[in-house]
Each structure stands twice: as structure tokens, then as C-alpha cells.
């Protein structure tokens, strides 16, 4: 085991003098886009990762306004959150929103912002913002939502009800048509427990259903298709 080493007191002043330069160097080399926003809403500083994210040269970012980098749909919310930081209602916040690149393209980012105050007076000086590129994830989510919407529309048009049970995560999905077929509210929650479902199955069909499910769970059959009677609401 190594022994703890006391810092050399003679070197402390040098360390403190170098701390500001070291912090700036660390920020400049950070992989996460980082910038400072003044109380007037203008960018005061941005690191290289921020320039790369937004497509600007380093000398072009100083003096940019929020309207230059934030999508109009998210501008009002951003201003409201920044005002809350300046008024002391919060010390930080996190949000997902769209930024604008220099060429006008919108990009989704995960934003974390925190207020920086004067050490003695507590007066707000800057807001430090860090932004992570989540554009691919958001576009994938949008594409998936669109695909699911089309799938659900097709199923509803065909009058087919669907349920899906994720055994590993213990989650279940019941489609709108599945609920309507049973006289349930389309937005009503459904108990995903197998016992709750079997309780609604006609007594004369339960043993057969249980045996079929058991055989599939045991790997004796790759899939099954069966008819049974189920009680309406």
C-alpha cells in the first residue's frame, strides 16, 4: 500500500496560479461541448467540442446569441430556465432540446446547465452549459414511433388485438384494439399477471390453455395458435 504524501507547502502558490490555466486547458480539451452564457444571453466562451458540434470556427462563437444556436421551438423554454437560474430559483437544470448548427441544420442535444456566481456577492456571472449530441438516438426514436404508429393503424384497420409480454423485464403491452374487444377503456391500465388473464378465460378452456403455454415455455413447441373463450368486461 502506498503512503499518503503531504503536499509541499512551498508549491501551493504556484499551484493556485496555475489552476485557472489548467481548468481552461481541461475544458478546451474536453470531449463534451461546453460553453459559457452571459447574463445578457450571449456566448462568452465555447470549447473546441462545442465548435465542432455547431460547425463554427472558434473565433466565430464569441458573441453569438441564444437565437443563433437554439431552435425557435425551444427558445422560450430555454429563456425561462435561464431566468430561473439568474433569479436563484434553481442552481442547475437538464433538458433535451434542438440546437442550430451554423449551416441551419437542427441537432438534438442533452443539455446540462448550471449557474456560476460571484464568490463573495453571490451575483450571477455566467451559466455554464454542457451539451451531448443525441441526434441519432432522437431520430431513431422518431422513426420507431412512426413505424409503431403505422403498425398499430394496420392492426386496428384489420380489427386485430395484440398483446406482448416481456418476460425478462416483466412488462406487458396491450394494444388499443385488444382492450376494445374486451369492452375496456383504450387508455385503461391492464393487469399483466398471467393469473389475472386466466381468471377471465372460460373455466372449460383454462386447463387446455395452461398446458399449451407450459409446452411452449418448455420448448416443446416453437409457437402456438389456439381458440378460447374470454369474459367481456
Q: pLDDT tens for residues 176-215?
A: 888 999 999 988 899 988 888 889 999 999 999 999 888 8
Mean pLDDT of the chain: 85
Q: Determine the pLDDT at residue 15.
A: 53
Q: Which residues contact 174 (CB under 8 A, 6 or more apart)?
A: 161, 162, 163, 190
Q: What number of other Cβ atoms are within 10 A of residue 215's Cβ?
A: 12
Q: Determine the pLDDT at residue 159.
A: 81
Specify the pTM: 0.62
Tens-digit pLDDT profile for residues 61-106 = 988 998 999 999 999 999 999 999 988 899 999 999 999 999 999 9
How confident is residue 5, by pLDDT bands cut at 50, 70 and 90?
A: very low
pLDDT of 42 strictly over 70: yes
Q: Residues 190, 193, 197, CA angle at the centre, nearest 5°?
A: 70
- Residue 106: strand pairing partners: 100
Segment 119-132 shows an average pLDDT of 90
- Of all residues in the chain, what percent carry a pLDDT higher than 70? 91
DSSP 165: E
Cα–Cα distance measured from residue 173 to residue 189, given in angstroms and rounded to the nearest whole number: 10
Q: Residues 108, 109, 114, CA angle at the centre, nearest 5°?
A: 150
Q: Determine the pLDDT at residue 229.
A: 93
Cα–Cα distance measured from residue 28 to residue 22, given in angstroms and rounded to the nearest whole number: 10
Greatest mean pLDDT among 1-10, 31-40, 68-77, 191-200: 68-77
Cα–Cα distance measured from residue 34 to residue 128, given in angstroms and rounded to the nearest whole number: 7
CB 58 within 8 A of CB 85: no
- Of all residues in the chain, what percent carry a pLDDT higher than 90? 43
- When comparing pLDDT for 193 and 109, which is higher? 109
Segment 204-228 shows an average pLDDT of 88
Amino acid at each position: 500500500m502506498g503512503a499518503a504524501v503531504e503536499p509541499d507547502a512551498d508549491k501551493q502558490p504556484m499551484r493556485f496560479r496555475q489552476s485557472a490555466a489548467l481548468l481552461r486547458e481541461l475544458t478546451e480539451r474536453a470531449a463534451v461541448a461546453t460553453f459559457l452564457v452571459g447574463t445578457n444571453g450571449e456566448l462568452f466562451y465555447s470549447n473546441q467540442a462545442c465548435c465542432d458540434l455547431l460547425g463554427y470556427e472558434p473565433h466565430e462563437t464569441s458573441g453569438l446569441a441564444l437565437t443563433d444556436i437554439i431552435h425557435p421551438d425551444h427558445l422560450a423554454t430555454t429563456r425561462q430556465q435561464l431566468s430561473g437560474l439568474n433569479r436563484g430559483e434553481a442552481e442547475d437544470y437538464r433538458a433535451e432540446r434542438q440546437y442550430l448548427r451554423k449551416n441551419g441544420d437542427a441537432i438534438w442535444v442533452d443539455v446540462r446547465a448550471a449557474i456560476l456566481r460571484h464568490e463573495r456577492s453571490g451575483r450571477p456571472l455566467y451559466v455554464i452549459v454542457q451539451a451531448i449530441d443525441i441526434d441519432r438516438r432522437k431520430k431513431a426514436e422518431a422513426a420507431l414511433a412512426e413505424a409503431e404508429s403505422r403498425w398499430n393503424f394496420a392492426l386496428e384497420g384489420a380489427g386485430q388485438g395484440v398483446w406482448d409480454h416481456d418476460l425478462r423485464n416483466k412488462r406487458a403491452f396491450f394494444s388499443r384494439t385488444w382492450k376494445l374487444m374486451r369492452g375496456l377503456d383504450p387508455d385503461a391500465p391492464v393487469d399483466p399477471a398471467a393469473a389475472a388473464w386466466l381468471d377471465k378465460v372460460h373455466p372449460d378452456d383454462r386447463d387446455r390453455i395452461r398446458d399449451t403455454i407450459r409446452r411452449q415455455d418448455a420448448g416443446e413447441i416453437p409457437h402456438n395458435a389456439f381458440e378460447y373463450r374470454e369474459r367481456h368486461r
